[in-house]
Structure formats: C-alpha cells, structure tokens
Structure 1
Amino acid sequence: MIYTITFNPAIDLVFQVNHLNIGQLNRVDNEDFVAGGKGINVSVLLKRFDKDNIATGFIGGFTGQFIISQLEKEGIKSAFIEADGITRVNCKIHSDSETEINGNGPIISEENFQKFLKFFKSELKENDYVFLSGNSAKGMTSDSYGQVAKLCQDMNVKLILDSNLDNLTSCLIYKPFIIKPNHHELGEIFNIKINTVKEIIYYAKKLQEYGAKNVLVSRGSHGAILVSQEGKVYESNVPSGNVINSVGAGDSMLAGFMAKYMEEENYKESLLQGAASGSATAFSTGIGQIKLIEELKKQITVKEIV
C-alpha cells in the first residue's frame, strides 16, 4: 500500500485578482477552494495515475471534514487522526505577483502523535511506500519525523521524504529511498549558494553519503537533476507554458516520478514523468490532470549527464 502523511494540511483559498490594492476593498475575478498540504497533493496525483493510496496525518474541525470530502471525490481513502482545533486555511492571492497568507492549524498533543504512530505500526507492511511531506504541526517535537523514518526503515518500507532542512537532514540516517530538495534548499543544507549543475551533483552525492539513496533536485524553470542510487545522473528540461500556480508543483514532480518508478523502476522514464507532472500543476489552478501531463511529456528531454 501507499501512504501519504500530511501533519498540517490546509484548505488553500485561491483568489485571482486583476490588481491588488493594499488597504482597499478588492473584488476577486475568480476563487477556488483546494484541499492542500504537500502529502495531500501527492495523494491526488498518485490517484490520477491509478495508484491507490491512503492519506493520513492530522485534521480538525469543519475544515478538516472538507479535506476528507475532497479526497473522497478523488477516490482517495483517508485515515486522519482528529486533533483539537481547526485545520488551517491558507489564502493564495494571484495578482500582479503571488501573495500567500498561511494559517497555523491545530496544536498536536503527544497523545495525538502516539495515536498516529500506533495506527501506522499496525498498518505498515514490508515494501509499502510512505510519502512524508511538508513540515511539522504545532506541538510536535523535533524527533517526530525521525520516529516515522525509523519505523519505515525497521519495516523495510520505502520512505519518500520532502520536508524542511532540519527534518530532512535528521532523517538521512534512516536511509530514505528518495529526497527532493530544490536547488536553494540544497544550498541551505550546506550553507552555500549553489550556482552550477556541477555543484548540484556534488552536494547531492554528499547527501547520498549521509544516507539518502536517491536525490531529486528541482530547479524551477531550469528543470531537474536526479542523482540515482545506481550511480547515474540525469537532467531534464521543462516544457513551455504559462505558470498559473506554483503551489504543489514540487509535490506533483515527486508523485509523478514515483508513480512511474513503481511500475518500471526506470529512473530516466520516472524523471520524464516527474518533470511533466510538476509542470502540469504549475500550469493549472490545482493539481495537474493526466491529459496535460501526457501532452507535456512530448516537450521534455531527459539525458544522462554522468
């Protein structure tokens, strides 16, 4: 089975505004309510690739129930732990530039987290896949991610990890199957500014020395670099298109990559699908649709560079 974990999901309230006037009344041209959070984004795209998965994490209140209902519409099963409080709402304003206002979400108690771990221990089976995406919720401790990562290692489960610097680096000792920093985050890990492909490859290999098996580095409009556990390095370009919403593009890249890898264990084809998936979401209001992903594949080239 495939599981996605979102500890602090959200409803993304997306406003399209022709011109945002700060301090004045603004009327929207269009609005969308989207079940958000990195793991939820992954769940949606996996399901569109016909990969059944279970979305889990923490939710609270009426906003949490909205997320469950949206997942049900996509045919996605959920197993969230109820927490006291209200699942957060994030406001995304797309105007002359993108403005984001993110909520906090409920505080997760130790009892909540232990209940989550108990559920996970009872459900996980060898060779399952676990996507651990996004950041901690309020109340969680610094070793929460490490506990999940260690459980995955103990159960021989493939861990797909996409989180902030601290969570990512603290989990490397548990040998995640793949991590996905962007090139800025990769530089932050080593406290440098990365400027070249050569530097990306060098520092991605450093992360492999620390425990990561595969390192997928997204580079925005410059494509992506994959340093694989088989010792090969692949580079993809990006297709042309109008960027509407960058939220969820990285999650879609990772989901698209893994959806193909689960079928073929082919890194080159997986990166091709991952790159198309990320771009499809960037060119859409919500998570990209399969039809657009297939169209964009025609514009993408993946080459082995090492």
Structure 2
Amino acid sequence: MIYTVTLNPAIDNVIQTEAFQKGHINRACREYIFPGGKGVNVSLVLERLGMETVALGFLAGATGKAYQALLQENGLNHGFLFLDRGFTRINTKVSAEEETEINGGGPGIRERDLDQLCGQLASAGPEDFVVLSGSVPSRISGAYAYILERISGCGAGIVVDTTGEELLQTLKYRPFLIKPNIHELSELCGAAIRTKDELAACVRSLQKAGVRNVLVSMGRDGACLFTEPGEVLYAAGISGKAGNTVGAGDSMVAGFLAGYLTGGSYREALRTGAAAGTATAFSFGIAGEEEITGCMEQVVIEELKI
C-alpha cells in the first residue's frame, strides 16, 4: 500500500484563456476542476497506473464535502479526516501566456489532528510507502517531522516532497526519496546551481544528512536521479507543448514509485517517473495511463559520471 498525506488539499480550478488582461473580464476557453493537493495528485496517478493507494489528510466545511465528492468521482480510495472548523480551500490557476496562481489558506490544523492522522498510518509496514507531499500550513510548522517521529518504527519507505526547513527537518529520518526541483534544490543548498558538479555536490550533502535517493526535476531539461548505491541517472527532457504544469512533479513521484515497485530497478523508476511527469505537463489535468505509456517510449536514460 502507498499512503499519501496531503495536509492542506484544495479544489483546483484550472482556467485556460487565450490572453489574460488584468482589470478586465476574461473568458475561459477551457476549464477543469479537480481535487488538488500534491499527495492527492500522487494517489490519482498511482491509481491510474494500477497501484494500491489511499489518500489521507484533512477536509472541512461545505467545500470539504465537495472535495470528497470529487474524490469519489475519480474513484480514489481515501480516508480524509473532517475538521470541525474552517473550510477546504479553493485554488485558481490561470493559464494564458504564462501561469498565474491564487491559492487559498485552508482550515487550521492542531496537534491532536496530527495524532489522529498518525493513528491512520499505524498499520503501515516494511512493504508500504508513506508519501508526505506539499506545503505545511504555518500554524503547524514541523508537521512532517512530527509525523515521522511517531511512525519511524513502522519500517515503511518514506517519500518527502516539500521545501525548505520542513524538508530539512525530515532528513534525519532517512527518507527513501525526496524530489526537489532545481530551484528548490538551490534554495536548500544556499547557492544557485549552474553546473553538473555543483548539482552533485549539493545532492550529496543532502544524502550525507540522511536522505537515500534524490530525484531532481529540471523542467524541459529532464530529471536527474542520485541513487543510494551511488549511481547518477539522467532522463533527458521530451519535446512537446506544455498544457498545464500543475501536478507534473507529483506525477513524477507517483511514476517513480510505480516504476520502482513493478520494474524493480532505479532505471525503471526514473523512466516511469519522467514519463508520468512529462505526460501531465503535456495534458490539461492529471495524465492517464495511456498518455504516460506513450511518453515512456520516448524516455532515454543514461548514466552520468559526476
């Protein structure tokens, strides 16, 4: 089982326009509403690739009920907890000449809510994975480290996809995988990354701090995987027209896990991860199995000596 945790999910309203004019009425030429949140995106792709998954996190209010209905429409197995205060946020993404996002705040989460979530993860074991994905609301900073402290003895593989101090706090728990993009990686290491050697030095400093595998997404430039055994594998970017990049990184995480569990190697994990991320970037919404399979045929993996 792959458990995904989304602390602050959102109803994502993705709008595409021919051109966006500030201060004017803008008409959508295409619109899509789906249950957003990085962990939920991971579960959606895993489910479409035939993997067993359950999405966990917190919902609240009338928008939380609407979110739950969207999960059911997508056939997603979930165990979201309902809070007795606030409401689930709505995020609006406008795609025109460039992408613009307006993200809501979401309900307040307390320590006792996290304890209840940890109880849901109590059944996780060595054959399972737990994916902690997305930002942490400021009112509960340190939430991922709090969760990992309480489930550290279960033996499940841990995947963390967040940024900054929230990510750094989890490294001592030896996560199986982290997936920063190149800009997030630069922020973690405190300097812009311009060369392959700088990339390798930054990643290896994180591996020394505890993380086992690091998958770096680089947009059109592809993705680079630094493995626990010491390999550096590179998947070149695939040419195509980006539709909407929302969920591309989450799709890469899901594809990586699906490839690793079914293919049994880091190469297959990277191949499937790169294909899933690209397929979603080329889609309007989260990619399906057919789109991902089509991209897999174009992914070329090479080993780098850095």
- TM-score interval for Structure 1 and Structure 2 normalised by the shorter chain: over 0.9
Between the aligned partners of 2:295 and 2:67, the Cα distance in structure 1 is 29
Query: Deviations along 1:101-155, whole A, 9 cap, x unmatched?
Result: 000011112332222223323x323331101000113531x33211222334311
Between the aligned partners of 2:40 and 2:54, the Cα distance in structure 1 is 10
Q: What percentage of residue pairs aligned between the two structures are identical? A: 39
Residue 92 of structure 2 corresponds to which residue in structure 1? 91
Query: Deviations along 1:232-252, whole A, 9 cap, x unmatched?
Result: 110011211110111110110
Residue 2 of structure 1 corresponds to which residue in structure 2? 2
Residue 193 of structure 1 corresponds to which residue in structure 2? 192
Between the aligned partners of 1:29 and 1:284, the Cα distance in structure 2 is 15
Which secondary structure does the structure 1 equivalent of 2:170 belong to?
Answer: helix
Structure 1 unaligned blocks of 5 or more: none
Query: Deviations along 1:154-196, whole A, 9 cap, x unmatched?
Result: 1111001100111111000000000011111111111100011
Residue 211 of structure 1 corresponds to which residue in structure 2? 210
Which secondary structure does the structure 1 equivalent of 2:249 belong to?
Answer: helix
Between the aligned partners of 1:253 and 1:152, the Cα distance in structure 2 is 25
Greater mean alpha carbon deviation, residues 269-278 or residues 75-84: 75-84
Which secondary structure does the structure 2 equivalent of 1:58 belong to?
Answer: strand
* Equivalent residue runs for 1:147-166 within 5 Å: 147-166=146-165
Residue 262 of structure 1 corresponds to which residue in structure 2? 261
Query: Deviations along 1:262-291, whole A, 9 cap, x unmatched?
Result: 123200111011111001000111111111
Q: CA deviation at 1:9?
A: 0.4
Which secondary structure does the structure 2 equivalent of 1:18 belong to?
Answer: coil
- 8 Å CA contact retained: 1:107, 1:138: no
Residue 64 of structure 2 corresponds to which residue in structure 1? 64
Between the aligned partners of 1:90 and 1:183, the Cα distance in structure 2 is 24
Which secondary structure does the structure 1 equivalent of 2:78 belong to?
Answer: strand
Residue 225 of structure 1 corresponds to which residue in structure 2? 224
Residue 137 of structure 1 corresponds to which residue in structure 2? 137
Between the aligned partners of 1:5 and 1:259, the Cα distance in structure 2 is 17
Residue 104 of structure 2 corresponds to which residue in structure 1? 103
Between the aligned partners of 1:50 and 1:281, the Cα distance in structure 2 is 17
Query: Deviations along 1:7-65, whole A, 9 cap, x unmatched?
Result: 00001111111121211222222211111000000000000111121100111122222
Q: TM-score, normalised by structure 1?
A: 0.96
- 8 Å CA contact retained: 1:44, 1:71: no
Between the aligned partners of 1:259 and 1:94, the Cα distance in structure 2 is 29
Residue 39 of structure 1 corresponds to which residue in structure 2? 39
Which secondary structure does the structure 1 equivalent of 2:275 belong to?
Answer: helix
Between the aligned partners of 2:66 and 2:180, the Cα distance in structure 1 is 30
* Equivalent residue runs for 1:215-294 within 5 Å: 215-294=214-293
Residue 18 of structure 2 corresponds to which residue in structure 1? 18
Between the aligned partners of 1:245 and 1:82, the Cα distance in structure 2 is 30
Greater mean alpha carbon deviation, residues 70-79 or residues 30-39: 70-79
Structure 2 unaligned blocks of 5 or more: none
Between the aligned partners of 1:73 and 1:186, the Cα distance in structure 2 is 36
Between the aligned partners of 1:138 and 1:167, the Cα distance in structure 2 is 10
| 2:212 counterpart of 1:182 | no
- 8 Å CA contact retained: 1:17, 1:30: yes
Between the aligned partners of 1:195 and 1:33, the Cα distance in structure 2 is 37
Q: TM-score, normalised by structure 2?
A: 0.96
- 8 Å CA contact retained: 2:61, 2:88: yes
Residue 76 of structure 1 corresponds to which residue in structure 2? 76
Which secondary structure does the structure 2 equivalent of 1:245 belong to?
Answer: coil
